[in-house]
Amino acid sequence: MKSILAILCAFPALAGILVGADWPQFMGPDRSGVVSGSLPDQLPVAGPPVVWERELGSGFAGPVIADGKTILFHRKGDEVVVEACDASAGVMLWQFTYLTDYVDSFGFDNGPRGTPAVADGRVFVHGAEGMLHAIDLESGKLLWKVDTVADFKSGQGFFGRACSPLVVKDRVIITPGGSKDGKPAGMVAFDVKDGHVVWQSVEDEAGYSSPITVPGSPDRVMCWMRNKLWLVDAASGEMVASLPLRSSMDASVNAAQPVACGEDRYLISAGYGVGANMVQLPGLELLWQKQDLFDSHYSTGVLHEGHLYGFEGRQEQGQTLRCIDVEKGTVDWDGEAVPGGTIISVGDKLLAVTEQGELWLIRATPEKCDILSTAQILRSGHRSFPAYANGILYARDGRKVVAVKVVGD
C-alpha cells in the first residue's frame, strides 16, 4: 500500500480531500493540523463516547494513526516503548523497546518528545536521548537505528531532542544540531531503507520546532532551529535561504512550526520577545514583525480561510486562544475562557485539547470565539499533540491515551 504521507508530501492539496485519511505524523497528513470533514455542533452531554483507552508511560510524543494502527511512543522506567495498537479497539499488536538513560536537565518529564512518523510501511521515532529508529510497521521489528549523539555530536539542549521526523519521498529528516567529519550536521537526511546518510547540512543548533515540507520544483524543507529559520533543498540539502530569527534571551526556545499562510508566506511565532513574523519565499524575506499579535509558546496554530487560530502567550502570564487575520496582521478575537493547549482544524470547526485534559469544540469563525461544547477526556496536565482520523480523536497525557468518538456513525 502506498504511503498516504508520501503522496501528501508530493501533492499537499490532496490533504483536504482525504476526509477519512490517516494521521501518520506530527500535526497530521500534511503537518498543518488541518483536515477536511464535518464535526457536530454539540458533543454529548456526558462527553464523547470512549472507544478505548490504554495506560501509557511518560513523554510528550503524540499518537499517530496509519493503516488501521495507532502508534504510541513513551517511556516506562529505563525503557523507551514503541507500540502499535488496533486503531479501532486499542488492542496491542506489537511492542518494540530500547534502553535509555536520558535525564531532563530541568527535572521535567524524561520521556520522548518527538511524535513518530509513518511512511511506506516504516515507523520512525526520534527519542529525547538522540536515538533514531526505523521499525517495520507490520511486525515491529527493528530495521535500522542511528545514534545521533555518537555520530553527529547532537547536544541535549534545554529539554532533550524533540524533533518529530519528517519523511520526504525516500528520506527521513531530523535536526541533530551537530556536526560530522568537520562538516555541519544541524539537519540530516537518512535513506528510509537502510539509514545511510543522504546529506547533512545547516550550521545551527537544534531547536524545538520540527521541519516541514515546502512543496514545489524542487521540494524544500523549512525548519526553525536555535538561531535561524532555514530553507534547504529536500533532495540535496543545499541551502536555499536562511533568516536569523531568535530571542535575545539565552534561556529561550523556538518550538512552534512555521504556518503556511498562502502566496508563499509563512508565519513564524514564539515568545521571549520574538513575536509574530511573516516571511516570504523564495528568499525568506521578512515582510513584517509584530509584538503582541501572536506569541506561540509551544503549540502551533492552524489556518482556516485566512485566519489563524492558536494559543497565544506563556503559562506564566496566562495563555489565550486567539484568532488573527494573517493578511492584515490584526487580532480578531481572544477566547480567554479557553485554557492553553493544542488545536486542530476539522472542516469549519476546531478541536482544542487543553493542558487540563479538556476537549473544546469551537466554531472556526473570525466573528467571535464561538464555543460549542466542552468535555473532560483526560486527567493529568499535558502538552502533546492529538491525532484525528475517521471521526475519532486520539489524545494522551502522562498516564494514558484515550480514543474518543467525536463524529457519530
| Window from 93-102, 163-172, 305-314, 375-384 with minimum mean pLDDT | 375-384
Q: pLDDT tens digit string along 202-235?
A: 999 999 999 999 999 899 999 999 999 999 999 9
Mean pLDDT for 344-366 is 97
In DSSP terms, which residues pair with 380 in a beta bridge? Answer: none
Cα 4 from Cα 14, distance rounded (Å):
10
- CATH class of the 4-405 domain in this structure: mainly beta
Is the separation of the CB atoms in 12 and 21 below 8 Å?
no
Report the 10 Å Cβ neighbour count for 40. 15
The predicted model scores a pTM of: 0.93
Q: pLDDT tens digit string along 360-407?
A: 999 999 999 999 999 999 987 788 999 999 999 999 999 999 999 999
Closest CA to 269 of 255, 286, 283: 255
Q: Are strands 341-346 and 34-35 parallel, antiparallel or unpaired?
A: parallel
| Window from 169-178, 308-317, 324-333 with minimum mean pLDDT | 308-317
Q: What is the DSSP string of 122-188?
A: EEEEE-TTSEEEEEETTT--EEEEEEHHHHH----TTT---PPPEEETTEEEE---EEETTEEESEE
The domain locations on the chain are 4-405
Residue with cell 536555535: 226
Is the separation of the CB atoms in 323 and 337 below 8 Å?
no
Q: Does pLDDT of 315 surpass 70?
A: no
Q: Does pLDDT of 198 surpass 90?
A: yes
Cα 10 from Cα 12, distance rounded (Å):
6
Q: Does pLDDT of 147 surpass 50?
A: yes
Q: How far is CA 159 from the centre of its chain?
A: 16
In DSSP terms, which residues pair with 58 in a beta bridge? Answer: 75
